[in-house]
A and B are shown apart, each in its own frame.
Chain A
Amino acid sequence: MSQEHGLFVYGIVPSDVEPTADAEGVGDPPGRVTAIRHGELAALVSEVGLTEPIGRPADLTAYERLLDGTAEVAPVLPVRFGTAVTGEDAVVDLLAAHHDSFAAALAEFEDRLQYTVHGRFDEQEFVSDLLTRDTRAAALADQVRGRPEAQSREQRIRLGELISQAVEQRREAENRALVDAVGRYAVADAPRRPSHELDAVNVAFLVATDDEKDFVGAVEDFAEQRRDLIRMRLVGPLAPYDFVSAHQLVE
């Protein structure tokens, strides 16, 4: 293999996993995904040109699709997006050096999938709710409405700060409530950073395939109870991105 090419590494799987012929990887045109095996493990890889930029939307989507599709049939340890190694030998070295810890991690992910619950407050609902409960905020809103920013900047900042603090408080409460309500159907949960200033909940759950239905049902109930206030989304099933401790496995 020449210097201009490397192997893009998607994830680690048990050695009996075989990528299907139509599995498409990153790059343009998409690389063909193959498995490189060592012991009980295999790495899903595809050849990639090291001079072409990787990180286009299509590359991210291809990466996630491959890993999520794999996770539905076999345990998989995602390798951080953007990881490329020099060649097949490097992949084998990697698998050999961490064989037992990778194998142990894969055993934990057997028959388990990730679901991410992500909710966002409806701004109008949240703010109007706040204004009815918080007289300070209501008074400030009164001073702000219909007045140009230049004349009400101080009040605007104070009002916005109150709203922002209320969002944070409510976010904490909702995240706790979510874990309380659906956590019993999950093997583990992992909080995720808010990705938007109106984020209401953002938690990843590792769910046993036997419990998927109950888990989804519990999330639906949770969403139903908040349907006006929070726009709730369930993303998954996914590879267990949030349950791989990046630095624990490979020192």
Chain B
Amino acid sequence: MTVATTTGQSGGALERSGGGGGSLADVVETVLDKGVVIDAQVSVAVVGIQLLEINARIVIASVETYLRFAEAVDRLDITPKGQKGLPDLVEDASGAAMKGKAIGGLGKAAGAIGGAVKEAVGGLGPDGDDEDEEDRPRSRRRERSR
């Protein structure tokens, strides 16, 4: 089941998905490589598992990762923190128009934001708008009972 919970006034910050109802990536992450391993002499290996296992775990920082992050900086044309919270459209427009200016003002913004960030590490203050929720397929719970 997929339920977007609503906390606070402006929609929930926590996306929820029930067991077995998430994406394949969720299922793979949840179940693979977990659980009791049965003795080799009674078990019969079943094919088709190892491949998935390998695909499920490739999170190693590499030059490729670094380049991708840097590209993101380029692509997103990330502007200083002070401008966050504007609607996307405005943000895009200002990004294009104020590139030089934004970078020039960076040092100053950093000083002002620094304090807020330190505070935030202990318990980030709530602010800003909602994330888009991905639609997930709903699952019907198939019940096994005593």
Listed in ascending order, the chain A residues whose CB lies under 8 Å from chain B are 6, 8-9, 11-12, 16-20, 22-24, 33, 44, 48, 50, 53-57, 60-61, 63-74, 77-86, 90, 93-94, 97, 116, 122-125, 127-129, 131-133, 135, 138, 141-142, 144-146, 149, 153, 155-161, 163-164, 168, 173, 192-197, 199, 216, 219-221, 223-229, 231-239, 241-242, 244, 246-247, 249-250
20 A-B contacts (beta carbon < 8 Å): A17-B144, A50-B44, A64-B31, A65-B142, A70-B144, A82-B46, A83-B38, A97-B39, A123-B72, A131-B78, A145-B103, A164-B69, A220-B5, A221-B7, A224-B12, A224-B126, A233-B14, A235-B18, A249-B36, A250-B37
Q: What CA separation (Å) do A44 and B109 show in the bound complex?
A: 60
Listed in ascending order, the chain B residues whose CB lies under 8 Å from chain A are 5, 7-8, 12-22, 24-39, 42-49, 51-52, 56-57, 59, 61, 63, 65-74, 76-82, 84, 99, 103, 106-107, 109-110, 113-114, 117, 120-121, 123-131, 139, 141-146
Q: Which of B29, B44, B109, B142 contacts A84 (CB 8 A)?
A: B44
- Chain B residues with CB under 8 Å of A20's CB are 142-145
Nearest-neighbor residue (CB-CB) of A63 within chain B: B31
Contact A144 B7 (CB under 8 A): no
Contact B110 A138 (CB under 8 A): yes
Q: Which of A145, A158, A223 contacts B74 (CB 8 A)?
A: A145
- Contact (A85, B38) CB under 8 Å given A131-B106, A220-B12, A224-B7: yes
Q: Which of A60, A73, A196, A238 contacts B59 (CB 8 A)?
A: A196
- Contact (A128, B79) CB under 8 Å given A195-B59, A227-B126: yes
Q: What CA separation (Å) do A138 and B144 show in the bound complex?
A: 56
Contact B144 A73 (CB under 8 A): yes
- Contact (A144, B34) CB under 8 Å given A60-B28, A225-B123: no
Contact A237 B31 (CB under 8 A): no
Contact A241 B30 (CB under 8 A): yes
Contact A124 B76 (CB under 8 A): yes
Contact B65 A160 (CB under 8 A): yes
Contact B31 A83 (CB under 8 A): no
- Chain A residues with CB under 8 Å of B144's CB are 17-20, 23, 33, 44, 66, 69-70, 73
- Chain B residues with CB under 8 Å of A122's CB are 131
Nearest-neighbor residue (CB-CB) of A149 within chain B: B67
Using A69-B142, A128-B79 as known contacts, list a sample of 6 further A-B pairs with CB atoms less than 8 Å apart, ordered by residue number in A.
Answer: A69-B19, A69-B141, A81-B34, A86-B44, A131-B81, A227-B13
Q: What CA separation (Å) do A159 and B146 show in the bound complex?
A: 57
Q: What CA separation (Å) do A16 and B106 show in the bound complex?
A: 66
- Chain A residues with CB under 8 Å of B28's CB are 60
- Chain B residues with CB under 8 Å of A197's CB are 59, 61, 65
Contact A241 B35 (CB under 8 A): yes
Taking the nearest CB of chain B, how far is it from the CB of A14, in angstroms? 8
- Chain B residues with CB under 8 Å of A220's CB are 5, 7, 12-14
